[in-house]
Structure 1
Amino acid sequence: MIDVISKNWFVLCTKPRNELKVKERLTSIGIEAYTPTRIEVRQWSDRKKKILVPLLPSMVLVSLLEKQVDQVFEVPGVVRYLFEHGKRAKVSNQEVLAMQRYLENTYQATQKELEVGDTVKVPLLEQEATLLSIKGKKCLAQLQKIGALVSFQLQ
């Protein structure tokens, strides 16, 4: 009988503001890595500039076999794995795919009567989140499992 060895997504902690560099370095040594990002306009005194900002501060998601988990420490900027209940925190493949699809598209929430502090299910991600603010039709919520901030619009 052949054992099917599957890769797991793990959460890596990085040095501050090193997420994109670590992702690039991991990819260059053959490790599948994902860092969700968004484009933000930052203003300085003399100019405005669009920059790529990671959604998960100091975190990179990596897809590895259990026996490969030590390879990531060859990359400068990697600090440690994120642990949950004494074990390396794992993220399901469906959650990673849902996050990618969510960032590629804008989704509409169907709930109308929301208040700050309510727990809502974020569309497409199918994750519970705590509502942080409501401004008109725009809502900002924090995912309960990994702490990422997501925004969506009410219909």
Structure 2
Amino acid sequence: MKWYVVYTKPKWEKRAAEQLSKFNINSYCPVIKKVQQRSDRKVKVEVPLFNHYIFVQLAEKDRNLVFHSPGVIRFLFWLGRHAIVKDQEIETIKEWLNSSDTSSDISVMQYQIGDQIHLNSGPFCDQNAVVKDITKTHYVLILESLGYVLKVKHK
């Protein structure tokens, strides 16, 4: 069975994954722990790694079952076809989130827009990227092999 990417309503990622699990659909919503400032204190919360997206593993004939969850809007498409994620990529995300080094940042200060770089740490380790934009606080990288645009904070 293939892993598909599903687009959800805002703030519905975890809820949609839970609902799909109740329908015996293997779903995965990667989450990270983040500190959020409340009016009187700081609180650690789990937030989705990818806003609006979850992964579902199912047979091609069963794709419409995901719409049993009211939080699911549509499938993600890439080059006119359903976006499919390899098992190895899902495992890489899981391993990275389970490691103690999930706070690693990528620094590419010496690079210019248009440069090709090789990422050697973090969740997209061993991927090639192109520097698309450089701001005061972030770099924007294009991971062509995965179809991602990645925003990375400066160190």
Q: Shared fold (TM-score greater than 0.5)?
A: yes
TM-score scaled to structure 2, two decimals? 0.75
Instruction: Say whether residues 1:75 and 2:69 are aligned partners.
Output: yes
Instruction: Say whether residues 1:60 and 2:54 are aligned partners.
Output: yes
User: Do 1:11 and 1:89's aligned partners in 2 also have CA atoms closer than 8 Å?
Assistant: yes
| CA deviations over 1:103-125 (Å, ceiling 9, x no partner) | 22228799987436454333464
State the shift of 1:90 in Å.
0.5
| CA deviations over 1:37-84 (Å, ceiling 9, x no partner) | 110010112121111111111000111110110000011100000011
Q: Which runs of 5+ in 2 are unaligned?
A: none
TM-score scaled to structure 1, two decimals? 0.75
Query: Partners of 1:79 and 1:87 in 2: how far apart?
Result: 16
Partner in structure 2 of residue 48 of structure 1: 42
Instruction: Say whether residues 1:17 and 2:11 are aligned partners.
Output: yes
State the shift of 1:128 in Å.
3.1
Query: Partners of 1:33 and 1:46 in 2: how far apart?
Result: 35
State the shift of 1:36 in Å.
1.5
State the shift of 1:27 in Å.
1.2
The sequence identity of aligned pairs, in percent, is 31
Partner in structure 1 of residue 90 of structure 2: 96
Partner in structure 1 of residue 148 of structure 2: 146
Query: Partners of 1:102 and 1:23 in 2: how far apart?
Result: 20
What is the Cα-based RMSD across aligned positions, in Å? 3.2
Q: 1:38 to 1:111 in 2, by over 3 A?
A: closer
Q: Which runs of 5+ in 1 are unaligned?
A: 1-6
The alignment of Structure 1 onto Structure 2 pairs a total of residues equal to 144
Q: Secondary structure at the match of 1:147?
A: strand
Q: 1:46 to 1:140 in 2, by over 3 A?
A: same
Query: Partners of 1:25 and 1:92 in 2: how far apart?
Result: 23
